[in-house]
Amino acid sequence: MRDTTAAGLRRLLTAGIDGSLGHLRELDVDAAADIEAEHRRDLTRPRVVVVGATKRGKSSLVNTLIGVPGLSPVDEAVATAAYLDFQHGPEHGVRAHVPGLEEPVRLGLGDLRDWGTVLGHLPDGMRPPRRIEIQHSAPLLRHLTLTDTPGTGGLDPAHAEIVMDAVAGATAVLFVVDASAPFSAPELRFLVEAGERVDVVLFALTKIDAYPGWRTILADNKGQLHTHAPRFGSAPWFPVSARLSELVTTLPRDAAPEPMGESEIVALQRVLVDLAEQGHLLQQANILRSVRSEYIRIDQDLSDRMKATDPERVREERSRVAARRRAESRRWSLTLNTETQRARVDTYKRLLSYIARLRDHFGERIDQSTSADLAGLPAEVDAALHALSVRLSHDLELRFRRIGATVLAEVFQPDELQHVLRGINARLRHGLGLRRRPDRGGSDGAKVVVSSAGVAMTAGNAVTSIAGFSIPVAGVGLGLAADAYLDYKRRLMADRAAALTWFREVLSETRSALGDEIIHRFTDLQYALTLALDEAIEQRIKQLDEHLADIERSLAEEKAERARRREALNTERDGLRTRIKQVDEVLVQVCALLPAEPAGS
C-alpha cells in the first residue's frame, strides 16, 4: 500500500532524488552539478508562475486572485514586457531589476504600467527591466509569491525567453487559456517545454462569462492534453471569470455569492494556498522532474551512438544531404527571397498603419489644444515616436523569427537541425553585428533621430530566438532630433496651424527614415541567412564525411569487438530506461498533492 502522506512522500522523494542524482553524476557530471545546486537552494516562499498566450486574461486573473483590481497592468493592446513578482510586504512598493544596474530601481505602484509594459514610458536611456518585484499586503501573498509573465507560446514570441526564465524558478505553474478557442499548437509546445522543469501544473479557463459554450472548449482542451501532452491529462481545471469576481465589490452583500460562485476564484485561491503549504515537497518533485529530463536527453544520445555503429546509415544520410544540396539550393534561396520580400512589405504596411494612427491622434489633439497645451507638443511627439520604435522593434523580431523558421523548414529535416544550429547562431551574431546601421543624427537639420544602437529596446542587441538559435536584432531607437525642438521654438508655438504643419513634417520624415531602416534590416537578414545556411549545409556534409571516415576505420576492427561495443551501449541504455521508470513511479505518487477539480468543470 502506498504511503501518500506528506511524510511518506517526503521520504519517497528524498530517496528518489539521492539515487537518481547519484546515477546522473556517473553519466553527466555537469548536468548533475547544476541540479544539485538547485537542490541545495532554500525555498523561502513558494512561487506560483502564471503563464499563457497574450490576451488570455492572465493579468486580470492575477489581480483578482490578489484582490487588487488594476494592480498588474491590463491592456489588450499591450503585452507585459517583464515578469512581475507579487510578494507580501507590509508597505507597498516596487523594485525594478534593470540589466546593467547593480541596484534595483525603486518605484511606486503607479509606475507599473510605464515600467512593466512594452509601450511604457521609461526615463531617457533606461533599459527595460527584466524582472519587477511588487510588495503588497494582500492576504494571498502571505502564503506565496505570484508571478505574472509576458505572453508565450509563439503568440508573443519576443518574450518567450523571459517567461521560461520565470518558469525555471517556479514551485508550480498556473497555465491560463480562455474560453474563446481550444489550445493552439504553440501553447501546447510551450506547455511541454515548461513541463520539463516543473512537476505540478494547474489550468485556468478564463472569460467563461463571455462564452456560454465554455464547457465545450474545456472538453476539447482536455482531449488535446490526453493526445499531445498526456502527462497533464489528469491535471485539474478551474473555470473562472475575473470580471464576475470584480463585480462582487459593486453588488449588495446578499447578491455577492452567486457571481463569486460562478467565477470559482475563491476555490482557486484556496487551492493555491494548499499547494503553497506543500511547497517543499513540490520543490523536491521539480528536482526529480529535472533529473528525468536529463535522463531522456542521455537516452537519446545513447540511441544515436548505437545507430552510429552502422556505416550504412551514415552513408545514406551523407548521400541524402549532398543530393538535397545540389537539387534544392535554388529552392531554398527562392524561399528566403520570397519570405524576406513579403515580410518587408508587411512590416512597411504596419509602419504606415502606425503613422496613420499618430496622424489622426495628434491632428485631433492639436485642433483641440490651447496655447499652454501646444507648448508641450514636442515632448508628447517624442514620447509617441519612442513608443512607435518599440512597436517596430517587436514587429521586426517577430518577422525575422518567421523567416528563419520557414527557411529552416525548407532546408533541414527536424532530426538534422541539432547539427547546424550552433553554426548558424554564430554566423548571424557576427554578420548582423558587423552590418549594424550607423546612427542617423540631427546635425544635418533632421527632425527625427533613428538609431540602431537600441535606444528603445536595450543598450546593445535585442536577441530573438528562432527554432533553437538566436538572431541579434539591434533595437530601433526613434525620437525627435535637437533641430526639431529648435525649429518648433522658432515658429509660433501658440499657432495651431503652425504646430500642425511642424507635426506633419516630423511625421513625413519619420515615415521616410523608418522605411529606409526597414529595407536595411531585411537586407541584412537575407544576407546573413544566405551565408549562414550555405555554410551550415557544407559543414554538415563535412561532419558526415568525417564520421563516415571514422566508421570506415572501425570496420577494420574485429566484428566481435564492434558487437561488444554495441551490446555495451544497449546494456547502458536499458539500465537508464529502468531508472526512468523508477523516477516515473515516484512522480506518479506526487499526483496525490494535486487538488480535486471543482464540481461541474
pLDDT in tens, 120-143: 677 876 777 878 999 999 999 999
Nearest Cα to 579, choosing from 16, 134, 90? 16
Q: Work out the pLDDT band at 465, boundaries 50, 70, 90.
A: very low
Q: Which residue has the higher pLDDT, 232 or 485?
A: 232
594/601 Cα distance (integer angstroms): 16
Q: Which residue has the higher pLDDT, 343 or 467?
A: 343
Judged against a pLDDT cut of 60, whether residue 308 lies above it is answered with yes
Please state which of the ranges 265-274, 280-289, 321-330 shows the lowest mean pLDDT: 321-330
- Letter for the amino acid at 326? R
Quick one: CA torsion of 376, 382, 388, 389, rounded to 10 degrees? -160
Q: Residue 486's pLDDT is what?
A: 76
87/542 Cα distance (integer angstroms): 53
377/370 Cα distance (integer angstroms): 11
Q: Residue 76's pLDDT is what?
A: 46
**Which residues partner with 346 through β-bridges?**
none
Most confident of the following: 368-377, 396-405, 453-462: 368-377
Q: Residue 431's pLDDT is what?
A: 52
Q: Cβ distance 422 to 92 under 8 Å?
A: no
480/471 Cα distance (integer angstroms): 28
Contacts (Cβ under 8 Å, ≥6 apart) of 333 = 530
Q: Residue 50's pLDDT is what?
A: 93
Q: Residue 202's pLDDT is what?
A: 93
Please state which of the ranges 14-18, 410-414, 580-584 shows the lowest mean pLDDT: 410-414
Q: Residue 433's pLDDT is what?
A: 52
Mean pLDDT across 81-108:
86
Judged against a pLDDT cut of 50, whether residue 262 lies above it is answered with no
Mean pLDDT across 542-549:
68
Q: Cβ distance 94 to 111 under 8 Å?
A: yes
Q: Residue 197's pLDDT is what?
A: 82
Judged against a pLDDT cut of 60, whether residue 548 lies above it is answered with yes
Q: Work out the pLDDT band at 461, boundaries 50, 70, 90.
A: very low
Judged against a pLDDT cut of 90, whether residue 440 lies above it is answered with no
For 158-216, the pLDDT digits (tens) are: 456 667 777 888 899 999 999 988 888 888 888 888 888 888 899 999 998 888 889 99
Judged against a pLDDT cut of 70, whether residue 115 lies above it is answered with yes
Q: Residue 387's pLDDT is what?
A: 75
Question: What backbone torsions phi and psi does residue 470 show, to the nearest 5 degrees?
Answer: -115, 145
Mean pLDDT across 487-499:
75
For 380-417, the pLDDT digits (tens) are: 787 778 777 777 777 777 777 677 667 666 566 555 55
Mean pLDDT across 490-514:
82
DSSP string, 186-222: HHHHHHHHHTTT-S-EEEEEE-TTT-TTHHHHHHHHH
Strands (E), 483-591: none
| DSSP 8-state symbol, 600 | T
Judged against a pLDDT cut of 90, whether residue 95 lies above it is answered with yes
| DSSP 8-state symbol, 440 | B
Q: Cβ distance 269 to 598 under 8 Å?
A: no
**Which residues partner with 207 through β-bridges?**
none
Mean pLDDT across 483-493:
72
**Which residues partner with 47 through β-bridges?**
145
Q: Which residue has the higher pLDDT, 263 or 36?
A: 36
Q: Across all residues in the chain, what is the average pLDDT?
A: 75
- Residue bearing cell 459554450: 213
Most confident of the following: 188-192, 306-310, 533-537, 550-554: 188-192
Q: Cβ distance 4 to 589 under 8 Å?
A: yes
342/435 Cα distance (integer angstroms): 22
Cα three-residue angle 202-203-205, rounded to 5 degrees: 155
Half-sphere exposure of 43 (CA within 13 A, CB side): 24
Cα three-residue angle 484-485-489, rounded to 5 degrees: 115
Gap between the terminal Cα atoms of the chain: 30
Q: Which residue has the higher pLDDT, 459 or 11?
A: 11
Alpha helices in 368-420 (DSSP H): 371-375, 377-411
Quick one: what percent of the chain has pLDDT higher than 90? 10
Q: Is 364 exposed, middle or buried (0-12, 13-18, 19+ CB in 10 A)?
A: exposed
